[in-house]
Structure 1
Amino acid sequence: MTAAAIPAGGEGTHRAAWWRYGLAWGVVVAAILLLLYKDTAHLAWTWWDNSTFGHCLLIPPIIAWLVWQRKEGLAKMAPQPWLPGAALILLGGIVWLVGEFAGVALLRHAALVFMLQATVPAVFGLAVTRALTFPIFFALFMIPVGEQLVPHLQTITAKFCVWLLELFEVPAYIDGVFISIPNGDFEVAEACSGVRFLIAMVAFGALVANVCFKSWPRRIAFMAASVIVPIVANGFRAWGTIYIAHLTTSEFARGVDHVIYGWFFFAFVMGLTLAIGWRFFDRPVDDPFIDPAALQSPGAQPSPTPVLAKAVAVAIAAAAVTPAYAALTAARSAEAPTEALALPTPAGWTKQDFAGREWEPNYVGATAKAMATYVDAEGQPVDLYIAVYDHQDEDSELVGYQQGILPPIPEEEEYGWSWAGNRPAPHGAAGAQINFGRNVRDVWQFYWVNDRLVGSPYAAKIEALKARMFGGNPQSATVVISAERTDTLVSSEPALRRFLAGVGPADQLLARSIVTGRD
């Protein structure tokens, strides 16, 4: 759009309208944040408290900067509310409702961000939305997602380390994510997986690809580098730590790793990625980010105040539907509430007080839980753990953050039980190996949700969602059967099979163990 195409005083009128529309947009955003205040607070706390998502604190100011870059072009455009945008807000609310009923924080966080994104077309209209396509897209990086990659990245890093060690003729033995060399044992722990750098680098790569490139092939290549470089660099970092230990001592190597690990390492990876892409930057410094003439017809005028007020009212109403429905269908408790658990003793086994090495599954908020050690005639111990939830809500979830077979590591301790890899398990169970130094434990875990026995936390979430939405059984539980290996190289699976055969199927075991009562 040229200056001649704008009516006299048109740009000034648009600037005045932008203040009015900006205030209206702020009202809608504030309403959504207040309606979903628990998830708003949880999202912000996740950014602040979880180091993996600390970079998310920078995303809102970066979005503001991206919008500011486009201010001159936006001033020449006329905001015009798009009422169907309220349907997008409602769609986000439905996704939030699914996350609320299933107890999946990721879905709730994603839905909250999507609802905020949908406020732009609802209040400002489609033309402005097209002008702000990348800032709106960049808001997706506010969603704390990516920790699901940790086990895969641990495995990749461990195998990469061993490959490099063998290349440098260092004897190495790998067991899952645990690596042993002649003068030390090492674990590629969750914190060493490189996930925090990968997630942050993907966000950084997207920003650079938009700001510094115009060619889509170059943008795609830079994004690929933003994924590959941090993974490879983290592999070299982990290998370097072990190789230094090979040349010196494990203690010295860990000290060096603590010095270079953290934001120094991230700055190095970021600088390396920028150095790779620098010579290929093809966007001129003074190149405009939007072309108003290509986005909106000449002479367009902002919609009048009554239209804007209607858009605000409809958007807020759409955002309020699903939280209101969730409040009307509050969590139900089991008809026969759990009072206690009475663990049975199968024939041929003797029940004892639990005597494991500082290990107990972590299920906060359970209605009842119990644990015991069983010893067979051969002296083989097997541990049984059961936790029952009469209903699930935000503070008591069967499947949730830090809930599971790994106990939390005390603040004063540096190491604890860690996941080493998945292992075979009976139908309906999940199998895993966990390690604490040279102590190795085999674990079988069953989930009982909505009167079904499943062996996957994802399946458990789906069943919890079905129970909440369609009035199924709100009671859920987990059964964990475990044994610590007497020989780290010999699986304790035979003992687990003998115990399960004696105690019966997991759902029948639960039925015999739960002691119910009524108020």
Structure 2
Amino acid sequence: MDAGGEPPMNPDTVASAPRRGTGLPWPWALAGFATALLVAVGLYWPGVERLVHIWTHSQTYAHGMVIFPISLFLVWTRRQDLARLLPEPSLLGALGILLLGGVWFLGRAADITTVQTFVVVALVPALVLALLGRRVTRVLLFPLAYLFFAWPVGNFLVPVLQDFTAWISVALLRLSGIPTFSEGHYISIPAGDFVVAEVCSGIRYLIASVALGLVYAYLVYRSLWRRLAFVGLSIVVPILANGLRAYGIILIAHWTGMEHAVGVDHLIYGWLFFGFVMFLLFWIGAFFREDHLPLATPGRGSSAGAPAVRGPALGILPVLAAAAVALVLAPAGEAWMDWRMIASDGDARPVAPQVAGWQGPLPLQDPAWTPAWAEPDGRIQAAYAGDGGEVAWQVYHYRYDRSGTDLIRYDNRIQDGRQWRRIQQDIRSVSLTGGARHQVRETFLRGREGEDRLVWHWYQVAGRTTVRPVEVKLLEAWARLTGHEEGSLLVTVSTGFRAGPEEARKTLAGFLRQAPRRVAVETGNGADD
């Protein structure tokens, strides 16, 4: 007995006591969530379309199509915990939708596919938080976080993985006693030549391994350290395995005189090798399984697991209204921006400059090299001749008369991979007249017939020059928001050389010292030809 004469409460009784809340019954909440999800798909359809296009056209991100079903399965495993909760719409979720809408608006203004697809994926957890509440979101934290594996991101790792794969392949080949010459991602042995292309970087194996490893660790383990250890192995093992895979392909080709492990054979071998490695990883991980223990239910206090009883629901109406407004606001702003761009559309054309000390601009007929860039709205190709040599000047022009440009795209390349291959790329700072500095991105190309070429390129947006794609996207967003009419430019200067790249650098530097720092763009009314 306590001082008030009441018997003390049993903790088990407290844990199982009904908890009143201001929420919705599950059928209504799920119907509202499904409706909101369909509305979001319609409002943010450009991002949904790009997401599905990447899944269906990129082998690297094809796994994205199965992430949502896997996440739904993971939700199903928590159904008993969810049955004890009451969906309570949260104003925090409405705020999350509003913030994602702002990111969407900027992503559309800058035409950044990565940002748009991120918002599409992130809207699902935000809608869960807004319409089903914090307690439900807490229980579904892992299934909702797992959805981000459907977001097609990871290309920034490709060059690093290519470098590592080439390095370990060359090291193992030399340890095997095979004469090996390597130059960047290109490997030559007596039997033939090989290249560690982007598709051979192992990014697909890495993403698939981590995606499978996370689900396995979540379902099989309960302790945090075992989960982290297994996920860590899911990252390290495929990277090492891809290096061994590339080495094995070259070794088989060497033993068979290039009859096997080339063409389709190396793809089949790669996936069989990856499947075997993952089988070993999961087999070893099964010795430490803990799935006989119950999953922990995150929550605050013992009342989190108590059955919920619905209370008055009038307080949720403002929250639902705020979520609806937040969902619509960004697409409405995007429609205004598109209307503004169309209304201010005009004719803008870059102009080939006169360069002191150089003959030109001369017509550039059938250039030896052109950038493998998206088709521009306008193109200028000119040749200049001087005492220092010959320079090819090429400009690709992209206008703002539609949402987005193709100046920065994942598949834009300086080299075409067929006639020209990239040997080296770096950022270089060039001294101009008067002591000014101008940054260029330098690419050393080698042709199929032994011809070498040095290419300097940069971007010009809203009258400013840069070599950084991220800065280009930010400047493009600013240009659209402010009504800038000049458009975006890819500017390249290139020259061939025989003795070495220093000769070509002097030629290009001498040209840029006399050329205008920015490409002039004439604007007016009318349609571009």
Post-superposition Cα deviations, 1:311-348, rounded to whole Å, max 9, x if no partner, equal: 43321211111121122122637886224654657645
User: Residue 429 of structure 1: SS of its match in structure 2?
Assistant: strand
- Say if 2:331 is the partner of 1:320: no
Q: Is 2:395 aligned against 1:383?
A: no
Deviation of 1:218 after TM superposition, in Å, equals 1.5
Whether the aligned pair in 1 keeps the contact of 2:355 and 2:515 (CA below 8 Å) is: no
2:369 aligned with 1:362: no
Q: Post-superposition shift, 1:188?
A: 0.6
Distance 1:80 1:474, change over 3 A: farther
2:103 pairs with 95, 99, 121, which one? 95
Does the CA contact (< 8 Å) of 1:93 and 1:319 recur in 2? yes
Query: CA separation in 2, counterparts of 1:91 and 1:114?
Result: 11
Alignment of 1:40-439 (within 5 A): 40-255=48-263, 257-261=265-269, 263-284=271-292, 287-288=294-295, 290=297, 294=302, 296=304, 298=306, 300-302=308-310, 304=312, 306-307=314-315, 310-330=318-338, 332=341, 337-339=347-349, 341-342=351-352, 344=354, 347-348=357-358, 351=362, 353-357=364-368, 359-374=369-384, 381-391=390-400, 393-394=402-403, 396-407=405-416, 415=418, 417-426=420-429, 427-435=438-446, 437=448
Q: TM-score scaled by structure 1?
A: 0.86
Q: Distance in 1 between matches of 2:385 and 2:46?
A: 46
Q: Is the Cα–Cα contact under 8 Å of residues 349 and 375 in structure 1 kept in the other structure? A: yes
Aligned to 1:446: 458
Closer/same/farther in 2, CA of residues 354 and 424 from structure 1, 3 Å limit:
farther
What per-residue deviation string (whole Å, max 9, x for no partner) do you get for residues 148-190 of structure 1? Answer: 2111111111111111112112222222111122332211111
Does 2:475 align with 1:463? yes
Closer, same or farther: CA 385–417 of 1 in aligned 2, 3 Å? same
* Aligned-partner Cα distance in 1 for 2:281–2:353: 56
1:482-501 correspondence to structure 2 within 5 Å:
482-486=494-498, 490-491=500-501, 493-501=502-510
The one-letter amino acid of 2:304's match is Q
Deviation at 1:249, TM superposition (A): 2.5
Give me the whole-angstrom Cα distance separating, in 2, the residues matched to 1:2 and 1:300.
16
| Larger CA Rg, structure 1 vs 2 | 2
| Alignment: residue pair count | 503
Q: Are the structure 2 counterparts of residues 101 and 507 from structure 1 closer, same or farther at C-alpha, using a change threshold of 3 Å?
A: farther
Q: What TM-score, normalized to structure 2? A: 0.85
Deviation for aligned residue 1:273: 2.5
* Deviation digits for residues 468-513 of structure 1 (CA, Å, limit 9, x no counterpart): 34555652211112234546xx32x5324423423557754622xx
Percentage of pairs with the same residue: 31
Q: Which runs of 5+ in 1 are unaligned?
A: 410-414
Instruction: Give the direction of change, closer, same or farther, for the CA distance of 1:82–1:323 in structure 2 (3 Å limit).
Output: same
User: Structure 2: which 5+ runs fail to align?
Assistant: 1-10, 430-437
State the match for 1:480 in structure 2: 492
Compared CA separation, residues 303 and 425, structure 1 to 2 (3 A): farther
Alpha-carbon RMSD across the aligned residues, in angstroms, is 3.3
Moved more, 108-117 or 14-23: 14-23
